[in-house]
């Protein structure tokens, strides 16, 4: 895995193509100056920059663990970008999102994962369930799987609803050691029969240096917007500390997931 920071690319948004109105935070398909299409997540939407931080950390940890995630890039939005947008709601969103946003490479032709159509092998399902327990990701349910099938492989998207501890910052140590009771609604839980093996695998992939490497990717301007009373180092240390403590206490959420699965099947 290495212990050096793997930088993300930064692109400039050139063209707003279409909104994705099925997303609660109104993401959009946009074209960047590298000629590629991206699903653009706006800093001015919903939970704001904290959702982007969760998206960044969740997606990059998934990738470092060997799971499929579309390339994540930083996307710079110019002040003049939204002036010609006729939709007032979208115009306001663009105005409040000037600066650095986050985007995922658009997987053209991908289809939404359907557990009734596509079966997932136990090892992969167990790794994804484990990761979502780590991230406290409440948004991978049968109603909204946030997974895509592309070229016959399963791809993970949309981790913005993860890491909800950062909405209540003060008791992060306590939150890091809680079970993840919402795992009972996880769409892949019925397939996740190898959670102990997944636990060993994911712990090996997501060692402390990997955690700190991913957390170091959070842009300083995102931190200053959300945590004006803390230094960048302090904020990064909390994110890293939460994740490292949660991994060290993984037996808590693994047992919760196994118990939920027993009740389910």
Residue 25, φ and ψ in degrees, nearest 5 = -95, 10
Would you say residue 150 lies in a domain? yes
For residue 236, the tally of other CB atoms under 10 A from its CB is 18
Q: Does residue 154 sit in helix, strand or coil? A: strand
Do the Cβ atoms of 221 and 99 come closer than 8 Å? yes
Range of the domain at 166: 111-264
Which pLDDT score, from 0 to 100, does residue 88 have? 84
2 belongs to a structural domain: no
> Is the domain of 44 the same as that of 73?
yes
Same domain for 203 and 118? yes
Number of domains into which the chain is organized: 2
Residues 6+ apart with CB under 8 A from 7: 217
Q: What does the alpha-carbon distance between residue 190 and residue 58 come to, in Å, rounded to a whole number?
A: 22
Q: Which two tokens stand for residue 66?
A: 């060997």
pLDDT of res. 5: 54
Stretches in the chain below the pLDDT threshold 70: 1-5, 22-24, 82-84
The pLDDT value given to residue 87:
81
- How confident is the model at residue 2, as a pLDDT? 37
């Amino acid at each position: 895995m290495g212990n050096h920071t793997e930088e993300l690319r930064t692109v400039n948004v050139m063209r707003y193509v279409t909104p994705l109105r099925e997303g609660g935070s109104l993401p959009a398909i946009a074209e960047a100056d590298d000629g590629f299409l991206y699903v653009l997540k706006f800093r001015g939407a919903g939970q704001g920059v904290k959702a982007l931080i969760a998206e960044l950390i969740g997606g990059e940890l998934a990738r470092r663990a060997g799971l499929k995630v579309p390339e994540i890039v930083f996307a710079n939005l110019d002040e003049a970008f939204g002036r010609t947008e006729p939709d007032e709601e979208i115009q306001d969103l663009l105005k409040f999102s000037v600066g650095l946003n986050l985007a995922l490479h658009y997987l053209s032709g991908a289809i939404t994962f359907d557990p009734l159509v596509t079966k997932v092998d136990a090892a992969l399902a167990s790794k994804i369930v484990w990761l979502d327990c780590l991230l406290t990701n409440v948004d991978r349910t049968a109603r909204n799987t946030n997974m895509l099938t592309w070229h016959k492989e399963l791809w993970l998207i949309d981790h913005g609803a993860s890491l909800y501890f950062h909405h209540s910052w003060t008791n992060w140590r306590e939150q890091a050691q809680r079970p993840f009771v919402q795992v009972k609604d996880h769409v892949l839980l019925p397939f996740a029969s190898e959670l102990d093996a997944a636990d060993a695998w994911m712990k090996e992939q997501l060692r402390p240096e990997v955690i700190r490497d991913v957390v170091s990717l959070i842009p300083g301007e995102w931190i200053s917007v959300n945590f004006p009373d803390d230094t960048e180092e302090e904020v990064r240390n909390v994110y890293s500390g939460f994740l490292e403590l949660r991994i060290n206490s993984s037996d808590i959420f693994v047992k919760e997931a196994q118990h939920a699965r027993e009740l389910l099947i």
